Structure 1
């Protein structure tokens, strides 16, 4: 059986939990990271030398880095349309997965840290506004893409929508002003109806 190490409030762990749910895979989850510790223990470091979550065991295979794990799960256990058979479509899904990590997530994470994890008297309003503008610029790119088709990589939900959806859940639940983005808003409405998103991602922010 698959074994996933990580706590359910971690955004990176949520990506894997959602992927497992979409693929209807049985798995065991072991609490680690955050309030549960364990990640600096010698036995865990043999699984993930970075001392971070998640880590996934699939028999003798051990993987870390959430996007690598999600890609593996879809490639190993997925089938069309979840896992596109066309290599070009699959590459588009990969591109949006990388884009989430490099472009969208940094400003969203900065907002999360400032607005939820920093006491009000210590918040940097300049940093907050800069991150808000950067997140909006990134979401504008996604909005233009979603004007062309309903899901990030095309006509069907794919692995690309998972990391994007995890970031979007933070964006839509942070206490800040958000202008309407017609196509992102509609896509997020579809995302919210996915059972795996409801079960593993749409939780109170911490």
Structure 2
């Protein structure tokens, strides 16, 4: 088995502790290895979004430990967590989260800008990722002029541009038609086959089945964790 990238140990997340508290995560433990393609599936309110935010270092657990590459990062400062997110993770969202007032290539460059990469390198690296996503010809257009599938390809190029260890996809096909959904899921499979570690969060079993491992979450707990190979 390849090296462990992410390890969750008895992760709990409680909102409004003490007053109308909500147990969004109720003791979640699992590992994700380098090169895995994992889907996390659950209904609305199951805790999957909270789990994604925890895995992506966007939110801290109430208790438990989160290890990244063998290091316990649970108590890291916000600045340390931001730096880790920039270096280690790429994010793909249902609503694309592109800035419509700048060109597509400028959107792809954003993670590099935040990471302090010089402008001379940013354009070249962004062009390479857009070419890989087969949308280099859309580089100087604004996102709103593109189709949903093209915008998601721009978002995937942005997620890849810092060569992250893990790509998190939050309902990546939720805003797409069925034909475009198939092409985006095939693209995620290709990225995984090329060595990228991918975690998809979804409520759709058809999307979840694209992954090689399916974790089902219900009421803040892992209900099942099965191989899909």
* Superposed pair shares fold, TM > 0.5: no
Greater RCO (CA < 8 Å, at least 6 residues apart): 2
TM-score of the pair, normalised by structure 2 = 0.30
Structure having the larger proportion of residues in helix: 1
TM-score of the pair, normalised by structure 1 = 0.33
